[in-house]
Structure 1
């Protein structure tokens, strides 16, 4: 699940026009951004290929960022920043967007998502494994992408007269969605 996260951000932007689009996009990937930082910081988190060259065929070891409690804490941190910067409502929306990453990952990941950071207590790992059915994952991502794009472009058209800002904003969003879909299809 990659482009599906961005499709959801576009749909939320349509409903929450005062929340900056870049902050929604970053929110949907915040768990992965922190994962990369921990990966680069000495392998605190890691991943391994299960069947290289196939869609979603990696087993992640994101015992902190992608644990249920870890994702809730990172959601609160990001939401707190959003509340400080743009107000309580924006902070709540941004915190929920960060957590939406974990929920969507729960659908597609194999059982590799722990409940507690570091898999404390050696509790069962979660994941419904939709990545094992690539066509179903692609359909869900396409639906999220198309729905998000439709909601976003409708809201831009309704809220603003045709201005350079609206044209550039819509163009950037379209470019990001097309690039994301291309990356998703090619990977």
Structure 2
């Protein structure tokens, strides 16, 4: 779902000019950035679903700290608070919301592997609607998010007097980056 996260960042940028696009794009994947060292250290892990090759959406992700509901809220709040130092209170709130949007989008696609509490305290039922079972539907939704987000960004940037060449270049790069990340996701790389 990396591609869909970036599409959301582009859409948010169309409404929130003071926060740089790179900050919004990094914010949308911040939970995964925090996940990486925990994954490398073995604290969080991914198990392939039985009978699959472990490709696009074919894993149960045990990101019990970074991708728990409460963990995501805490990471989002702390990130937003920190970013408010550079981009003001509103910018910090926007970045915090974008960080938390990651969990909401993951809720749609993940199998039931998202815990409510960090470390899956209380062994409560895990959440996830499991759209990853339908690879092409998920890929189509991600592509749509990138295209709509890029179109909103392009329209807003053109309205606010951005250089047409730069606006077209950035929009083209977003679409190309979205296509590459989506292709890598689908290929299971």
Q: Same fold (TM over 0.5)?
A: yes
Deviation at 1:55, TM superposition (A): 2.5
**What corresponds to 1:27 in structure 2?**
27
For residues 162 and 79 of structure 1, the distance between their equivalents in structure 2, rounded to whole angstroms, comes to 30
Q: What are the Cα deviations for residues 79-98 of structure 1, in whole angstroms up to 9, with x where unaligned? A: 11111111011101100001
Q: TM-score, normalised by structure 1?
A: 0.92
Conserved? CA contact 2:10–2:149, under 8 Å? yes
Taking structure 2 as the reference length, what is the TM-score of the superposition?
0.91
Q: Is the 8 A contact 1:59 1:112 kept in 2?
A: yes
In 2, the alpha carbon distance for the partners of 1:90 and 1:150 equals: 22
Give the RMSD, CA atoms, in angstroms.
1.7
The offset of 1:165, in angstroms, is 4.8
* Partner Cα separation in structure 1 for residue 53 and residue 183 of structure 2: 19
Equivalents in 1 of 2:76, 2:29: separation in Å? 11
Aligned length: 186
CA distance in 2, matches of 1:161, 1:27: 23
Provide the rounded CA distance (Å) in 1 between the counterparts of 2:126 and 2:132.
16
Q: Per the alignment, do residues 161 and 79 of structure 1 end up closer, same or farther by CA in structure 2, a change over 3 Å counting?
A: closer
Q: Please name the residue that 1:110 is paired with.
A: 111
Asked if the contact 1:107/1:129 (under 8 Å) is kept, the reply is yes
Aligned in 2, Cα 1:28/1:161: closer, same or farther, shift over 3 Å? closer
Once the two structures are superposed, residues 104-145 of structure 1 have per-residue CA deviations (whole angstroms, 9 ceiling, x without a partner) of 111111110000000101111101111011122122112211
Name structure 1 gaps, 5 residues minimum.
Answer: none
* SS at structure 2 position matched to 1:19: coil
| Mapped partners of 1:76, 1:136: distance in 2 | 32
**What is the deviation of 1:174?**
3.7
Q: Where in structure 2 are there 5+ consecutive unaligned residues? A: none
